[in-house]
């Protein structure tokens, strides 16, 4: 059978709660595919944050630890140090990672913890009702910025992939998008690269994925995909911001 139609072993065969047009499901599929390809399912532990990703344990066929309120990188640190042979990833949204858990993510990255972080950036708080997130674009209307985000009062959208790339402990930092087949292919490679970095003990790896939230953006699924291309990518440029090549950091 053509591999594109195969169901990944690392995903359970079940329906998800994601809204129509949400690309969280694409991210799940890509991570599961990478786990299958690298043959690490039996030793992989996923750590989702709080938010729309919170049911990761219902969808992935791997071990999962729940870590609400931005604490996933701290939990991943403990898990990896206690069981260094395991492959540990956190899966976090922008509210969870770039607001509530800013401290955890920066210090885990700076320590160079040998973990992988998958960061879903849809520029809004999803599950809690569409409030402004640190990644909300300037001028973007949310339930807590009804006139649009204004840098004078709310500051600027935070660029996590670029910021984390400046830290010495980071081995790999990239930003990808989930809005078209071409970009999904690129995202697939970045996710696999992040996990390979961990397998090769290169240090902290992070992949930021631009994702849709048609429900809170109040647009159709098709318009949401177009919004990523037209509005998100110009502010959040795609690319690899850091890739460590050798172990000269040791």
Which parts of this chain interact with ligand SF4 (CB under 6 A)? 18-19, 22, 24, 52, 122, 126-127, 213-216
Nearer of residues 149 and 242 to ligand SF4, judged by Cβ: 149
Nearer of residues 149 and 193 to ligand SF4, judged by Cβ: 149
Report, in Å, the least distance between residue 211 CB and ligand SF4.
Answer: 7
Bridge-partner residues for 242, per DSSP?
173
Q: How far is CA 239 from CA 48, 173, 210, 236, 250, in A?
A: 24, 9, 12, 9, 26
Find, among 3, 227, 5, 28, the residue nearest to 122 by Cα: 227
Nearer of residues 119 and 204 to ligand SF4, judged by Cβ: 119
How far apart, in whole angstroms, are the C-alpha atoms of residue 202 and residue 110?
13
Report, in Å, the least distance between residue 95 CB and ligand SF4.
Answer: 10
Nearer of residues 103 and 180 to ligand SF4, judged by Cβ: 180
Report, in Å, the least distance between residue 23 CB and ligand SF4.
Answer: 8
How many C-beta atoms surround the C-beta of residue 82 within 10 A? 8
Report, in Å, the least distance between residue 232 CB and ligand SF4.
Answer: 14
Bridge-partner residues for 243, per DSSP?
172
Report, in Å, the least distance between residue 19 CB and ligand SF4.
Answer: 3
Phi, psi (degrees; rounded to nearest 5) at 88: -115, 130
DSSP state of 145: B
Nearer of residues 122 and 188 to ligand SF4, judged by Cβ: 122
Sequence-distant (6+) residues with CB within 8 A of 74 are 67, 104, 108
């Amino acid at each position: 059978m053509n591999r594109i139609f195969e169901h990944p072993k690392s995903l359970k065969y079940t329906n998800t709660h994601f809204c129509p047009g949400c690309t969280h499901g694409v991210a799940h599929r890509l991570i599961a595919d990478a786990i299958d390809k690298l043959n690490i399912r039996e030793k992989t532990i996923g750590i989702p944050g709080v938010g729309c990703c919170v049911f990761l344990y219902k969808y992935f066929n791997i071990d999962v630890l729940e870590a609400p309120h931005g604490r996933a990188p701290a939990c991943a640190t403990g898990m990896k140090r206690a069981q260094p042979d395991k492959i540990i990833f956190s899966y976090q949204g922008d509210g969870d990672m770039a607001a509530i858990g800013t401290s955890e993510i920066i210090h885990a990255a700076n320590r160079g913890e040998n973990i992988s972080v998958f960061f879903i950036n849809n520029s809004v708080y999803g599950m809690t009702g569409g409030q402004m997130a640190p990644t909300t674009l300037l001028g973007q209307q949310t339930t807590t910025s009804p006139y649009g985000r204004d840098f004078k009062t709310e500051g600027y959208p935070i660029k996590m992939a670029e910021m984390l790339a400046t830290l010495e402990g980071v081995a790999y930092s990239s930003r990808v998008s989930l809005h078209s087949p071409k970009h999904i292919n690129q995202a697939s490679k970045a996710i696999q690269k992040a996990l390979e970095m961990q397998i090769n003990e290169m240090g902290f790896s992070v992949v930021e994925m631009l994702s849709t939230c048609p429900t809170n953006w109040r647009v159709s699924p098709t318009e949401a995909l177009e919004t990523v291309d037209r509005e998100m990518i110009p502010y959040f440029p795609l690319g690899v911001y850091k890739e460590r090549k050798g172990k000269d950091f040791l």
